[in-house]
Amino acid sequence: MMLMLAQGVAQAQPTIENRQDIQVPNNLNQLEFYLITVDVGANVWDNFGHTALRVVDNTTNTDLIFNWGLFDTSIGNLRFAANFARGIMNYQLGVAPPAWELGRYQAEGRSVWQDRLRLTAEQKRTLYQRLAWNLRPENISYDYEYFFDNCTTRVRDYLDEALGGALSSQTQALGQRTFRDEVVDHYASVPVIAFSLNILMNGNIDERMTQWQRMFLPLQLREQLLRLGMIEESETVMSFAPPEAGPSANLISLLLALPMLLLLLSVRRASIASFSSQPGFALRAPAISYRLLGLLGLIIALFSGVYGLIMSLGWWLSSHQDVHGNLNLLLFWPTDLLGLGVAFSWLLKGQAYTLSSTRQQFVTAYLVLHLLAALVYLVMALFGLGGQHLGSIALYVLPPLILYALVVMIAGMRPIRSFRWS
């Protein structure tokens, strides 16, 4: 996938054998093609928008919309989600009357634009033959890739083929936006999803996009066609307000740093036992402080452990190249889920977690390794190493994690009292 990002060129369409055998309308001047662009919607899967092609044959009064966004729901939601996670996404082309297709977007409250494409008779012939080829049973399905082969790139590539490469040749300029920028911005209305994808996706999506690559987005395809004069007539079919952006999940994560800082400042020196002169550390107002530490521990253990588990499984099991070798695994470890038991102890008992000296040494070593990995992560973020954008995670997520580890090391544990009888 990195190679594909670096190339940024149009992918050649499969050769149509016996193209001359595909019948086309006799009067191509009566054949019209319209770009249908659908704005983002309220559902998570609608946050990038949608693109379709409307084909009108005025000679036969035929009017159909070609939609590459269909997928099989008969396998059930769980199996579909599992296949999606593994990178198995079988989509297909569907054809429906405009009343049915546009009525669906009306019900969803999504804006729709219709643009008549500027095509010569020969260009119409090429595009029509490609669509007819795509409707054949052996060609109707395809392996969906969210950046490189989706409902919008299908239309983009077919138009480029009809235009003899004129679209791709004029859109190779390198822009400032990355795929990560677009993912985070388009999921602004669902901050948890935006935050999660920012963590779960690797450096493959941090390459700057060409104008051609950016046309995986419906609105960008429309914008480029308008800019290049490839649209003759535009119409707003329906207009609705897009979903509003939600609160930033990054800022919410940073708020965890405040109680962690207060806990760190509340650390006091104490004796392990009243009859012992060996100094230790505890928290002031332990009934409250340790329960707060437990509550935050539950959040952080789940947060770090679940993300670490997803990234690890994605690396091993998924064909999505965008989740392989993720540098965020330096921070988020699946083994952090083991800390849930300790967090529950703090929450229920309101005191330091007791354990043997050997186990304490093991836990301390584990936390030290965590801190060292966090330090490596911080250095990579500061100096832009590794080819992956780490800045937002280092700014918003790293501080609470570091403070949490420090509080646990200093005051979160105490050895079990041992007695020596003589």
**pLDDT digit string, tens, across residues 351-361:** 999 999 889 89
Question: What SS3 class is residue 413?
Answer: strand
Confidence of residue 80 (pLDDT cuts 50, 70, 90): low
pTM of the entire predicted model: 0.86
Across the chain, mean pLDDT equals 89
Distance CA 187, CA 105 (A): 19
* Token representation of residue 180: 């990560």
**Greatest alpha-carbon span in the chain:** 109
* Token representation of residue 61: 């009064």
For residue 126, give the amino acid letter: T
Torsion of CA 385, 387, 393, 398, to 10 degrees: -30
Give Cα 240 distance to the centre of its chain: 25
Confidence of residue 4 (pLDDT cuts 50, 70, 90): very low
Cβ within 8 Å of residue 404, ≥6 positions away: 260, 296, 297, 300
| E strand map for 184-300 | 208-210, 231-238, 267-271, 279-283
Distance CA 232, CA 93 (A): 26
| E strand map for 264-411 | 267-271, 279-283, 353-355
Question: What SS3 class is residue 231?
Answer: strand
Distance CA 336, CA 305 (A): 5
In 3D space, the residue among 250, 13, 226 whose CA is nearest the CA of residue 113 turns out to be: 226
pLDDT tens, position by position, 224-282: 999 999 999 999 999 998 888 777 777 777 788 889 999 999 999 876 554 444 557 88
Distance CA 322, CA 201 (A): 5
Neighbours of 412 (CB within 10 A): 26
What are the C-alpha distances in Å from 71 to residues 64, 68, 74, 131, 261? 19, 9, 9, 18, 49
Give Cα 74 distance to the centre of its chain: 25
- Percent of the chain at pLDDT > 70 equals 90
Of 16-25, 33-42, 93-102, 168-177, the range with the lowest mean pLDDT is 16-25
On whether the CB atoms of residues 36 and 112 are closer than 8 A, the answer is yes
